Amino acid sequence: MTEYLTLLQRNRNFRLLWWGNVISLLGDWFNLIASASLIASLTDSGVAISYLFLVRFVPLFVVSPFAGVVADRFSRKGILITSDLLRAVTVLGFLLVRSPEQVWLLYVLTAVQFTLSAFFSPARSALLANVVAREDLVTANALDSLTWSTMLALGAFAGGVVAALFGLQTAFLMDAATFVLSAVVISWMVVPGQARTAVSTQTGWLDFLDGFRFLRQHAFLLVIALVKAAGSLVWGGINVLEIKYANEIFALSDRAIPFVKDGATATLGMIYVVSGLGTGLGPLFMRRRLGDRPPRMLVGIAIGFVLTGIGICSLGLAPTLALFLLATFIRTVGTGTLWVFSAALLQTMTPDIFRGRVFAFEFAALTLTQSVSVLAAGYGLDKLGWTVQQVTLAFGVLGFVMALLWLGFMFTQRTAIRVQETWSQEAS
């Protein structure tokens, strides 16, 4: 842990970017639990919950190509601040949703919120490589993963408690406040210049196509950019299923937690706490065991796919909440490793002038497959008549399929992997 503290102490810009992320993520998890709980209380449909996650993902896919061009053309710091402030205003609109007839408004506001997030995420991923030295990128990404998971644990737990004790409206108010505070912290950064696409030479869509051509010419990077998309096809639907598990199978009784009004919300908070621990500890352990070299990180991605499949299958077979939480930990160790190692590889190997568009492509692919996965989960529950356990096991099997595909890629591309490791040392 010393190297993470050292990086925060000696790099002021990264420290401010990190604090902004901490504050924003804390509110995000308040928002997620509050929104999911509101949908569950106003409707009784797996598809309705699927729609909530769908409207969180589809805008990201639609807007990401343009957002990537914006991140390469304009100030990434300015994009982050503007996105934060506009999201704060949007989240306040959630306070208006109070009846089943107003659920449509929650969907619309969620779509607006995540349209703005589509500008925030690729800009932040690209900006990270502007403020952190190449040799510190894996450390920074591992710390980001730990931060994400810690805020998932703290935010989800706090969100569950606040929603149960004080109501969902409080959670929405706190989320809006965190966006404002995040914008203030990020405004204090002094960011070095970035390589930018010349705005006078071509249109935004041609800029995006130029970035896609770069990926097509570097097939190895294209595959790395699709790692999260492949993983989200497996774990995306679990977001919906966790809510079903919390509400219908493992909801805590009033006798277990007499001071909490909603045992299902408390159970969901516990699931997110364990998810946070797995996502945070997994990359740290893998990095310590495997190191920072690209070939070793590729091995880590393979291990991540395997653990994801094992964890999800175990979710479907878990007879008790304790075993379900253990399976959740295993699953999120795998997903956290996939997330950190693929991000570090892209930041290390992608030239700055293309970095925003590459991360936008990764983000768009991720949200597309996540949307497909979420819809598949809702379809399996409502249309096929499968139990939540059966749908979970189907996703677990898919996780093993992805692991086999990745191992096949590594086996057939051994020479390319060695060449790519050398090329990554020369990438600007």
Q: How confident is the model at residue 193 (pLDDT cuts 50, 70, 90)?
A: low
Encoding tokens for residue 172? Answer: 């929405």
| Tens digits of residue pLDDT in 319-354 | 999 999 999 999 999 998 998 899 888 888 888 788
Which CATH code is given to the segment(s) 9-189+204-423? 1.20.1250.20
| Tens digits of residue pLDDT in 245-269 | 888 888 776 544 544 445 676 787 7
**Burial class of residue 296 in the structure, from the number of CB atoms within 10 Å of its CB (0-12 exposed, 13-18 middle, 19+ buried):** middle
| Average pLDDT across the chain, whole number | 81
- Domains of the chain, residue spans: 9-189+204-423
| Tens digits of residue pLDDT in 21-58 | 888 777 777 777 778 778 877 776 666 777 777 787 77
Nearest of 316, 287, 292 to residue 303 by alpha carbon: 287
Q: How far apart are CA 331 and CA 277, in angstroms?
A: 11
Contact residues for 194 (Cβ-Cβ < 8 A; gap 6+): 72, 76, 126, 127, 130, 352
| Tens digits of residue pLDDT in 360-410 | 888 888 888 888 898 898 888 888 889 999 999 999 999 999 999 999 888
262-289 burial by CB neighbour count: b if 16+ within 10 A, else e? bbbbbbbbbbbbbbbbbbbbbbbebbee
